[in-house]
């Protein structure tokens, strides 16, 4: 009986594939934003086909059809990378526990996110569904990041690297960061870039919801500053560096946000702000990861030999 031949994948290759998955998922968020910013959201007016008669764009659809269909094609490229990661995880010798669920989650998250994208088209770019489409991408990016970090960790127990109150503060910061992303979709849904001239808006007052979003950003920056100095105070250098990166990304994102608001939301700055949202998420997760580490698993001690009671008594 022949045995199946396995082709082991090096940990370095697996880590590079996992990193490529992060980049691909961030890229499709930006290209998805380009679809909306060029008013090409209904370039393909139906889903899963581009038109009722064709799965691909036609000359009658014009440039908007090309842009929308091109973004749909990118989903397949992102999915291929995710599939490559799953196969690489399966090829690991020995098999790494904990990696496969994350890899499969990313792989299945991509078609799930594509379905949400299809619903946005079928609902004529309903702003709430559009926001859900963006947030679904954030969930996939978070899973891809977790997988990438796990590829560099051993399979031992998780050990905290900072005191418990600071771990709690890091978790609160993560929740605030997530809420800023959510409110950001509400701001987008109230603004001018609907993705199509006939698409509805969510009805929220743009100025008021933008102020709520800005307040959340100020809170997030304040928490990040607190984390940075608290980590330094307890000598957690790695966590302090991660908090410093998060603070720098937040400040850059804040500058873009304010400039785009006062310049009436030019498309280029809106696209940069979408990229910045992905970077804020990744930097926030970086802080969360820096508050703990995994140590190599300790093999169980060999069992002591059984004592022969009869022999001992003799």
Q: What is the pLDDT of residues 7-33, one digit of tens each?
A: 677 889 999 999 999 999 999 999 888
Average pLDDT over the chain, rounded to an integer: 88
DSSP labels, 203-231:
---HHHHHHHHHHHHHHHHHHHHHHHHHH
- Specify the pLDDT at position 232: 97
Give per-residue pLDDT as tens, 64-90: 888 888 888 899 999 999 999 999 999
- At 173, is the pLDDT very low, low, confident or very high (cuts 50, 70, 90)? very high
- Specify the pLDDT at position 205: 92
- At 314, is the pLDDT very low, low, confident or very high (cuts 50, 70, 90)? very low
CB 72, CB 152: distance < 8 Å? no
- Specify the pLDDT at position 70: 86
Q: What backbone torsions phi and psi does residue 159 show, to the nearest 5 degrees? A: -125, 130
Residue spans per domain, the chain: 8-152, 158-296
């Amino acid at each position: 009986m022949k045995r199946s031949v396995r082709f082991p994948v090096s940990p370095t290759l697996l880590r590079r594939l996992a990193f490529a998955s992060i980049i691909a998922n961030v890229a499709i968020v930006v290209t998805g934003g380009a679809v909306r910013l060029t008013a090409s959201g209904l370039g393909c007016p139906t889903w899963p086909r581009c038109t009722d008669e064709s799965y691909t764009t036609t000359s009658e659809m014009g440039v908007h059809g090309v842009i929308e269909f091109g973004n749909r094609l990118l989903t397949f490229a992102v999915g291929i990378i995710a599939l490559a990661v799953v196969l690489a995880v399966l090829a690991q010798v020995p098999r790494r526990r904990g990696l496969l669920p994350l890899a499969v989650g990313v792989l299945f998250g991509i078609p799930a996110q594509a379905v949400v994208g299809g619903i946005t088209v079928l609902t004529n770019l309903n702003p709430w569904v559009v926001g859900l489409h963006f947030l679904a991408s954030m969930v996939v990016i978070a899973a891809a990041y977790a997988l990438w970090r796990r590829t560099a960790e051993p399979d031992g127990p998780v050990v905290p690297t900072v005191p418990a109150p600071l771990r709690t503060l890091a978790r609160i910061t993560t929740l605030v960061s997530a809420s800023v992303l959510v409110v950001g979709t509400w701001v987008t849904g109230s603004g001018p870039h609907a993705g199509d001239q006939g698409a509805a808006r969510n009805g929220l007052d743009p100025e008021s919801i933008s102020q709520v979003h800005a307040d959340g950003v100020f809170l997030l920056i304040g928490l990040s500053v607190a984390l940075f100095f608290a980590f330094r105070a307890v000598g957690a250098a790695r966590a302090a560096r991660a908090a410093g990166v998060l603070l720098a990304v937040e400040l850059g994102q804040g500058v873009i946000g304010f400039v785009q608001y006062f310049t009436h939301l030019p498309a280029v700055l809106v696209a940069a702000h979408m990229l910045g949202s992905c970077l804020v998420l990744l930097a926030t997760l970086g802080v969360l990861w820096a508050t703990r580490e995994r140590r190599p698993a300790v093999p169980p001690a060999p069992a002591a030999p059984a004592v022969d009671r009869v022999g001992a008594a003799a």
